[in-house]
Chains A and B, each alone.
Chain A
Amino acid sequence: MKTTLLAAGLVTLAPWAWAETPVLTVLTYDSFATEWGPGPVIETGFEAICACDLRFVTAGDGAAVLARIRLEGTTSGADVVLGLDTTLTADATATGLFAPVKARPNALPVPFADPNFVPFDWGWFAMVYDTTKLATPPTSFEELAASDLKILIEDPRSSTPGLGLVMWVKAAYGPRAPQIWQALADNIVTVTPGWTEAYNMFLDGEADMVLSYTTSPAYHLIAEGDATKAAALFAEGHYMQVEVAGKLAASDQPALADAFLAYLTSDAAQTALITTNWMYPATMPAAGLPAGFETLIQPRTSLLLPAEQAQTARAPAIAEWAEALSK
């Protein structure tokens, strides 16, 4: 009995076992590698063709992933970094840690090309609401601000959706962004550290709307058979989040890393991402989108600041946001 306990302890505490097959280490955000995330499917699928061992190392969210890479620098054990978005790619490129990747065609609604990064999925940010409680949702930020609806948003200083919202308002309204934020101030119930807190609180009925993605209702519809969630279509357009993966220049498995990036945009991986990451695929798989996705709103205008512009706009936009909401 004692040896069993000891063995169990050793197994638990010793994460490494020597492997003879080459190991490809992918650094990604937390929810990617869970049982319900894309991680397990991608791992099985890639290991079937690569004669390698695919390992995920996780670090919080996209911003945490980038912070981790910056901390590790050239000594990082990771080969591939997966899950940065376009508000972070300019910073990532500036570190000089990423190697150029082979360009592949993508089906994004806006032209997207980055020599260092491969987009693997994308989504539109949106205010999500419950159709049983809200019959006619607002059709713009201005209408939302004029209403007495209560909303939950994420903090741009600690979460990527929060940052996406600030960029959304900035991209849609430009110099009028501070006025929009001031008008929205009395609608905002609270600003949470991350998506998790906000979405949980929305599901518990703390607010009428929450900042999430246009694809969030698809999760409830397809995975839970619950058709009561919907995203509000805003006339000024919806800001996009494009999730990308890149190869580290210091990787000791550059060929495997390239093979993985190719696999990531393959039909099999793209199909899996749709219903595990609940985002749109970067290249449309042959089978198309699963049933249920046709119920989602289709924004007519897609907003996305180019990476460099997003980088320079970030600090002033956050400052405007904080200033307007602190009044």
Chain B
Amino acid sequence: MTPTSPFSVGQGLRFLPGLVALVIAALTLGSAAMLWGRGTGLTGLGPSDWAAVRFTLTQAALSAVVSCLLAVPLARALFRRRFYGRNALIALLGAPFVLPVLVAVLGLLAIFGRAGPVNLGLTALNLPPVSIFGLQGVVLAHVFLNLPFATRMLLMSWQEIPAERFRLAASLSMGPRAMAWHLERPMLVRVLPGAFLAVFLICLTSFAVALTLGGGPRASTVELLIYQALRFEFDLSRAAKLAGLQFGLCAAVTLLVARAAFPFLHDAGRGAALTDLAFAPEGWRRLGDGAVIAMAVLFLGLPLLAVIWRGVPGLADLPQGTTLAALRSVLVALASAGLCVTLALTLSLAIAARGPGHRLLEIAGMLPLATSALVLGTGLFLMTRPWAPDSLALPVTVLVNAVLTLPFLIRLLLPPARRVTADYARLAGSLGLTGGAALRVLYLPRLRRPLAFGAGLAAALSMGDLGVIALFASERTQTLPLLASRLMGAYQMQAAAAVALVLVALSFALFALLDALGARDVDA
């Protein structure tokens, strides 16, 4: 029997979730339709387009598989070991995810590039140098950007395994191997498909990483073809067709991995850890965990250090306008995070209530994952054209980024929202607790952690936005990523690196701050 919820359709906020879903559908599908409607030519998709589809799928699948496979030992090591700086390391796992793409690529090149320490070392040992360009480079960069994300997802799931089970297993004298088989394997089977899907979808719409490190036209992705169609050919219907194709790919893969719940759970992954570590295996496994953590620190930390190294010399002489651009960026990020959290909460509570149409709401919540930011931005540009796009640059950036981050937040909020609904709906019903009161007393305190983590994620992601703002921005609406990109376009590499460092530091600070707000949880 389905428990009724204080947010069932028919009570209180009756039309709100439907309205939110409609707005999202209008933005995502409407923007593509807008392009289609404005288009004139009807170019078919040729062999090179299908080659791009193949490369897009190959690199996304490889990136997702490698990220997830490496995340398993790393998450496990972080789960069962305590060491100085562990919390800092877990917090730092948010850093690569918020790096602007070009900054991340330059950081990686500083380490793995032709003149980087890896190749210098290989040369010193008389070994052939490795090239970061080609499919391996694309996968390397995607793993660098997404391994931390995958690791945090898995770490949360590990911490969801009730400690009693480990105790029980220990009392039954299970060895590490048996524990892995009986406790960890079922969790991974349940959780890995969702983690794979999340990383896969992020990599599917990759443009700059794939192109910069891909090595040539063989590494064309669908998003690049969309860019080309919009910028050079101005073939809007072709762009819409390609966007439709990309959408279809996302939908197909999502359906293939269907039923695989995203492993976001109510736990933000810090502090709440296995308290009794008596059954953390010793011996070679301890050494193994240590090696895994050390390698992860090197792999993720060195490129980040390179980013800092490049940025510091220019810090003393930041270009004028940096402060204002930083202020704008922070305001956009906070507004976008606030909007995204509100939308995600509205939809999640309605979906958790399982009223009529809740499946449609869930689909609407996933729509933005498959959308090309470029198509969304161009569609919005056409829609808002009558009202001077200049004055709308920042509001549109806020809206687009909130919508693009929405699917992740819904996946983050839905499981705990469902649990709270299942646990408390009857009680709330008997107390007559509905609407705003239920939200305040019942849901908000119990969803604090995912809300805070989600807000941090949304803020950090919109901080780095360049795709949308670049289309609308004027001199007066300059944000940090835009400033950095303009500086590089004017040969000011050192100033650009400094601005990028400010950007990274600010987005990471916002992320860490918001994430930390959720550290306390009522039922935890």
Interfacial residues, chain A to chain B (CB-CB below 8 A): 8-9, 12-16, 29-31, 33-37, 39, 55-61, 63-64, 66-68, 70-72, 75, 77, 91, 150, 155, 157-158, 163, 185, 188-193, 195-197, 199-201, 203-207, 216, 219, 223, 278, 314, 319, 321-322, 325-326
Contact = CB atoms under 8 A, between A and B. Distances in A.
Interface stretch (B74-82, B377-385, B447-455): B377-385
A63 B232 contact: yes
Contact of A34 (B385, B490, B493): B490
B331 A193 contact: no
18 contacts: A13-B331, A15-B474, A31-B490, A34-B319, A35-B319, A36-B319, A36-B492, A55-B475, A67-B232, A70-B234, A91-B234, A191-B211, A196-B488, A200-B493, A206-B109, A322-B220, A325-B216, A325-B217
A67 B374 CA distance: 13
B317 to A, nearest CB: 12
Contacts of A63: 231-232
A35 B385 contact: no
B463 to A, nearest CB: 15
B212 A197 contact: yes
Contact of B390 (A8, A77, A163): A77
Contact-residue size bin, chain B (C-beta under 8 Å from the other chain): 35 or more
A158 B328 CA distance: 28
A205 B114 contact: yes
A91 B231 CA distance: 12
Name the residue in B214, B483, B486 with the highest tally of chain A Cβ atoms < 10 Å from its Cβ: B486
Nearest first, the 8 A-B pairs at minimum CB distance are: A31-B489, A205-B115, A15-B476, A157-B228, A322-B217, A196-B488, A31-B490, A36-B490
B470 A59 contact: yes
Nearest to A220: B491
Given A58-B473, A200-B106, A203-B493, A191 B215 contact: yes
Contacts of B488: 196, 199-200
A145 to B, nearest CB: 15
Given A206-B115, A278-B491, A326-B51, 10 more contacts: A14-B391, A155-B211, A196-B102, A196-B488, A199-B491, A204-B110, A204-B115, A314-B232, A326-B216, A326-B218
A72 B385 contact: yes
A34 B385 CA distance: 25
A123 B207 CA distance: 29
Given A67-B230, A155-B211, A189-B215, A16 B390 contact: yes
Interface of B: 48, 51, 102, 105-106, 109-110, 113-115, 131, 133, 207-208, 211-218, 220, 224-225, 227-228, 230-232, 234, 319-321, 324, 327-328, 331, 378, 381-382, 385-386, 388, 390-391, 393-394, 470-471, 473-477, 482-483, 485-493
Contacts of B485: 30, 196
Contacts of A31: 486, 489-490
Contacts of B228: 157-158
A164 B328 CA distance: 36
Nearest to B232: A63
Contacts of B234: 66-67, 70, 91
B331 A9 contact: yes
Nearest to B320: A35
Contacts of A155: 211, 217, 224
A200 B101 CA distance: 13
Nearest to A77: B388
Nearest to A163: B232
A12 B324 contact: yes
Contacts of B493: 200, 203
Contacts of A206: 109, 113-115
Contacts of B113: 201, 204-206
B382 A71 contact: yes
B475 A56 contact: yes
Contacts of A163: 232
Given A56-B475, A71-B382, A158-B227, A30 B208 contact: no
B194 to A, nearest CB: 31
Contacts of A34: 319, 483, 486-487, 489-490, 492
A64 B230 CA distance: 9
A75 B386 contact: yes
Nearest to B35: A71
Contact of A193 (B211, B327, B474): B211
A190 B391 contact: no
B386 A36 contact: no
B133 A15 contact: no
A43 to B, nearest CB: 9
B183 to A, nearest CB: 45
Contacts of A36: 319, 487, 490-492
Contacts of B133: 189-190
Name the residue in B213, B232, B234 with the highest tally of chain A Cβ atoms < 10 Å from its Cβ: B232
B474 A55 contact: yes
Contact of B327 (A12, A56, A189, A223): A12
Contacts of A196: 102, 485, 488-489
Contacts of A72: 385
A13 B495 CA distance: 25
A192 B331 contact: no
A301 to B, nearest CB: 27
Contacts of B214: 190-191
Contacts of A14: 391
A190 B114 contact: no
A72 B133 CA distance: 38
A192 B115 CA distance: 19
A71 B378 contact: yes
A158 B224 contact: yes
B232 A157 contact: yes
Contacts of A33: 475, 486
Name the residue in A67, A205, A319 with the highest tally of chain B Cβ atoms < 10 Å from its Cβ: A67
Name the residue in B216, B227, B473 with the highest tally of chain A Cβ atoms < 10 Å from its Cβ: B216
Given A36-B491, A36-B492, A57 B475 contact: yes
B131 to A, nearest CB: 8
A56 B483 CA distance: 15
A58 B327 contact: no
A91 B232 CA distance: 9
A37 B319 CA distance: 12
Given A15-B391, A31-B490, A193 B324 contact: no
Contacts of B216: 185, 188, 190-191, 325-326
A30 B390 contact: no
Contacts of B102: 196-197, 200
B211 A57 contact: no
Contacts of A77: 388, 390
A12 B211 contact: no
A64 B234 CA distance: 10
A9 B394 CA distance: 12
B265 to A, nearest CB: 36
Name the residue in A8, A37, A150, A201 with the highest tally of chain B Cβ atoms < 10 Å from its Cβ: A201
Nearest to B233: A315
B390 to A, nearest CB: 6
Contacts of B476: 15
Contacts of B232: 63, 67, 157-158, 163, 314
B407 to A, nearest CB: 26
Contacts of B218: 325-326
Contacts of A322: 48, 217, 220
